[in-house]
Amino acid sequence: MLGQIDYCDGVVVLGWAAGGESEDVWPVDIFVDGNCVASAVPNKERPDIQSLDVHQKSGFSVDLPCRLSGRHIIEAKFRNGTSLGNSPMLFDDQSLNLDFENILYLRRKIADFYLSGTGIEVGGLNSPLQLRTGVDVRYYDRYSIEELRRIYPELQGKNIKAPDIVGNAQYMENVDDSSQDFVIANHVIEHLPDPIGFVKSCARVIKPGGVLFLTIPDMRNTFDRTRRMTPFEHTQLDHISGHPVKDYEHFYETALSQSATAEEAADRVRGMIENNVSIHFHVWSDVGILEFLSRSINSFLIPFEVALFVHNDSENIAVLKKANS
């Protein structure tokens, strides 16, 4: 039997579980402080575990009977008493406060395993991904170093990586086809009006067998928590139309999440658009971004597979591997 708890935010427990044979799906019981509070029969798609010999509909999402507060022990067990991986897990609502050093540590560990050769990091600014010795990276941004220092005065005195390539990351301008072993984009894709187009552009420039390394903020643990999660159909329309047809809606939704009233939000939108304010055009939870990536790959025949998907506190990490042929 295989499985693990991926995440608990005090409201829901996410994970996956499967029996020893690829088609076996076994019920799981969820315990809080030793008391069984819920059960689940795994039935959700989990393309991130396709490398394991388990049934693909092995994911589960369990709503807890009430919101947890304080510190609690969360356990997930098969009916025979066997615990899933990461079980028991300590839930502490104070731990939802961000520990940026721990977030960076997991990024680096995953990057050490998947990234090699020569590639590009998009939007590294003052916190590029630290790579192991022997891995070469060039930096890509939409502005020159002088423009970046003007646009981000809050980064004055910090070491901003000067872009080696300047262009529109949406289309990976000025990058040749099949020329990169990897592309890194940490907290980038949510800022792009056409995220499907970006994934396709990365597939174009990455060599067969290369990888796209993404981190995406989890809307539930950021200032986006009050916004509506972006449905796949929305991003699909943005891509097929050739331009984001809902630009005003994107900016208005962002302004509304930061305003006391709808009228105040409407007043702020014009200035945001005129000043080209960088916003989160689209927002996702872990389940939402995994659905976006899987459906984008399948719907538009993008030659990627999800090699790894991990929830990392306030963000989600996805590694997409390009097919060898």
pLDDT tens, residue by residue, 163-200:
999 999 999 999 999 999 999 999 999 999 899 999 99
What is the predicted pLDDT for the residue at 97?
Answer: 44
For the chain, give the number of residues: 325
- Model confidence at 136: pLDDT above 90: yes
What is the predicted pLDDT for the residue at 242?
Answer: 67
CB < 8 Å & 24+ apart, contacts of 236-240: 236/196, 236/299, 238/193, 238/194, 238/195, 238/196, 239/194, 239/195, 239/196, 239/197, 239/300
| Annotation: CATH topology of 100-220+282-322 | Rossmann fold (3.40.50)
Three-state SS at 49 = helix
Out of 148-157, 176-185, 256-265, pick the least confident. 256-265
pLDDT in tens, 214-238: 999 999 888 788 788 999 998 998 8
- Model confidence at 240: pLDDT above 80: yes
More confidently predicted of 265 and 18? 18
For residue 321, which of 113, 190, 182, 188 has the smallest C-alpha distance?
Answer: 182
What is the predicted pLDDT for the residue at 86?
Answer: 76
For residue 212, which of 323, 325, 320 has the smallest C-alpha distance?
Answer: 320
- Tell me what the mean pLDDT of segment 249-259 comes to: 70
For residue 195, which of 203, 30, 310 has the smallest C-alpha distance?
Answer: 203
Give helix then strand counts, H and E, for the chain: 7, 14
Distance CA 69, CA 46 (A): 29
Domain ranges of the chain: 2-96, 100-220+282-322
DSSP 133-163: TT-EEEEEESS-HHHHHHH-GGGTTS-PPPP
In contact, 302 and 200? CB cutoff 8 Å: yes
- Chain centroid, CA 110 distance in Å: 14
In contact, 315 and 224? CB cutoff 8 Å: no
Phi, psi of 257, rounded to the nearest 5 degrees: -70, -15
- Per cent of the chain over pLDDT 90 is 44
Out of 17-26, 82-91, 263-272, pick the least confident. 17-26
- Tell me what the mean pLDDT of segment 33-39 comes to: 92
Distance CA 254, CA 259 (A): 9
Out of 100-104, 152-156, 172-176, pick the least confident. 100-104
pLDDT in tens, 262-308: 777 777 777 777 666 778 889 999 999 999 999 999 999 999 999 99
Going by pLDDT thresholds of 50, 70 and 90, the confidence category of residue 56 is low
Tokens (6 digits) for 192: 């792009």
The listed range with the strongest mean pLDDT (62-66, 206-210, 249-253) is 206-210
What is the predicted pLDDT for the residue at 98?
Answer: 42
In contact, 219 and 227? CB cutoff 8 Å: yes
Distance CA 297, CA 223 (A): 28
What is the predicted pLDDT for the residue at 25?
Answer: 60
Q: How many CB atoms lie within 10 A of CB 296?
A: 23
What is the predicted pLDDT for the residue at 204?
Answer: 98
What is the predicted pLDDT for the residue at 69?
Answer: 77
Q: How many CB atoms lie within 10 A of CB 70?
A: 9
What is the predicted pLDDT for the residue at 153?
Answer: 78
- Model confidence at 47: pLDDT above 70: no
What is the predicted pLDDT for the residue at 245?
Answer: 45
Distance CA 25, CA 57 (A): 8
What is the predicted pLDDT for the residue at 70?
Answer: 79
More confidently predicted of 235 and 313? 235
What is the predicted pLDDT for the residue at 314?
Answer: 84
In contact, 129 and 184? CB cutoff 8 Å: yes
Q: What is the mean pLDDT of the chain?
A: 84
Going by pLDDT thresholds of 50, 70 and 90, the confidence category of residue 257 is low
For residue 214, which of 237, 234, 195, 236 has the smallest C-alpha distance?
Answer: 195
What is the predicted pLDDT for the residue at 225?
Answer: 81
Question: What CATH number has the domain spanning 2-96?
Answer: 2.60.40
